[in-house]
Each structure stands twice: as C-alpha cells, then as structure tokens.
Amino acid sequence: MNALLTLLQINDSAFPIGSFTQSYGLETYVSKGIVNNSKAVKVYAETMLQHNFYYNDAAFFMLAWKMCDGHATKAKVQELDELISAYKAPFEIRDASKKLGIRFLKVTENLKPVARCTKYLQAIKQGEVHGHYAMAFAMYAHAAKIPLKDALHAFYYNTLNGIVTNCAKLVPISQMDAQKILYNLHDLIDQLVASQEEMPEEMLGSCCIAQDIRCMQHEKLYTRIYIS
C-alpha cells in the first residue's frame, strides 16, 4: 500500500468512523458561553492540544507505536488498553474512544486487513479489551509503513481539525477564521510532535480538570447536538 495515500485516507474527516459526532466536552463550553468567539476558540484548541491531548491520546498513540516496534503480545495489548481506559475518567470520552476505535478497525479490515488489528478487533468483540482509537490508529499506521512523525502529525491535525470544525458549527465562527486557526497552530503541532517521545512517563494521563468536568456535565445538558 502507498503510505502517504493510506495516511491521507485514514486521517480524512470523511473517513466513516463517526468522529464528527463527538465534541469531547466542547459543546458544554459553548453552551456556558466560555468558548464564544474566534479568539476563545484558538485558546481552547491550543489548551486541548498542549495540556490534554499531548499527555493522553498522543501519548497513548506513542505507546502503541513503540509496542508495535517490539513484540505486541496479547498481554501487552490488554495492558495498554486497560491503562487507557483507566485514564479516560469521563464516561462519554471513554465511550467515544471505544466507538471510534471499533469503527476504525472495521473499516480498515475491509480495506486491507492487518493481523494485529484483526486480533485487536476480535479481542474487543470477545470482551477481552475495551478498544481505543489511539491504539487502533497507531497499530494500522505502523503496519502501513507510515513514518512515525508523519502519522503523529496527522493524528494531532485530525484532532485540531475536529475542534475547529465543531466550533465553526457551534459558536459559530467563520470558515476563514477557522482556517486561520488551523494554519496558525501548525507550529504548535510541530513542537508537540518533536517532544512527544521525550514526554516524562510520570505525566502520562495528565488532564485539564475543567475539561473532564465539562465532559461529565455534557451528559446532563438540556440540548445536545453531539454524543460527547
């Protein structure tokens, strides 16, 4: 398979895994009037990438990648899967990770099956593991021979794009402002990717407490457009 084209396809916002249905607590921020203009959107996006995603899904992606570099035994897959589940405290976020992971694995299984991904999907169906998107994406990208930093850049960008796209609909902000935010945060993504492998192990799972609270509050919002 062509590594670049594969990366473009699995990271496309149109890839049918349902990521557009998730806001990861953003809807609560907008509902409370905290994220209410383009400036606030940029601050929110920066904070999420730098102080949340970096220590969580991007770090989980890195652990899954390193696991694939070695020998990804069933026990190691289960251990990492359980660790990620434990760090995702809000139910909606944990559930979103599972749903996206399962859908990603099902779609890629129909494109070009990868042994480790097939086994992961089977383990999910049998209830042996929960299933997580960061692990599924890393495992498939690794098998597709996509360079680590390219895959990680794409993983970060996909998250940023989701945040900005949701803000364009919810806040709302203009499409031009949305594109400016995406472009202006390229350097931040570069910095985070460059330092990801050196992230202190003890910082794994660190989160923005307010973000977790907003994710939990989302379950009780009177009106909801997004699943999380």
- Domain ranges in the chain are 3-8+22-218
* pLDDT given for residue 96 in this prediction: 95
Encode the chain (228 residues) as per-residue pLDDT tens digits: 799 999 999 999 889 998 888 999 999 999 999 999 999 999 999 999 999 999 999 999 999 999 999 887 889 999 999 999 999 999 999 999 999 999 999 999 999 999 999 999 999 999 999 999 999 999 999 999 999 999 999 999 999 999 999 999 999 999 999 999 999 999 999 999 999 999 999 999 998 889 999 999 999 988 888 889
User: In angstroms, rounded to a whole number, what is the distance separating the alpha carbons of residues 194 and 54?
Assistant: 11
Which CATH class, in words, describes the domain spanning 3-8+22-218?
mainly alpha
pLDDT at 14: 86
Task: Please state whether the predicted TM-score (pTM) of the whole model is above 0.75.
Answer: yes
- Give the C-alpha separation, 85 to 101, whole Å: 12
C-alpha distance from residue 44 to each of 25, 36, 174, 188, 210 (Å):
11, 10, 16, 13, 12
Q: What is the pLDDT of residues 93-133, one digit of tens each?
A: 999 999 999 999 999 999 999 999 999 999 999 999 999 99
Q: What is the pLDDT of residue 46?
A: 97
224 in Cβ contact with 27 (< 8 Å): yes
Q: What pLDDT, on a 0 to 100 scale, did the predictor assign at position 1?
A: 74
Residues 6 or more apart whose Cβ sits within 8 Å of residue 68: 116, 138, 139, 142, 143
For residues 16 and 105, is the Cβ–Cβ distance under 8 A?
Answer: no
Q: Give dist(CA 134, CA 63) in Å, integer.
A: 9
- Give φ, ψ of 144 to 5 degrees: -80, 5
| Alpha-carbon span 171 to 84, nearest angstrom | 31
Contacts of 149 (CB under 8 A, 6+ apart): 193
pLDDT at 224: 87
What are phi and psi for residue 32, nearest 5 degrees?
Answer: -85, 0
pLDDT for the residue 207: 82
Q: What is residue 79's predicted lDDT score, i.e. its pLDDT?
A: 97
What DSSP element (H or E) covers 177?
helix 175-184
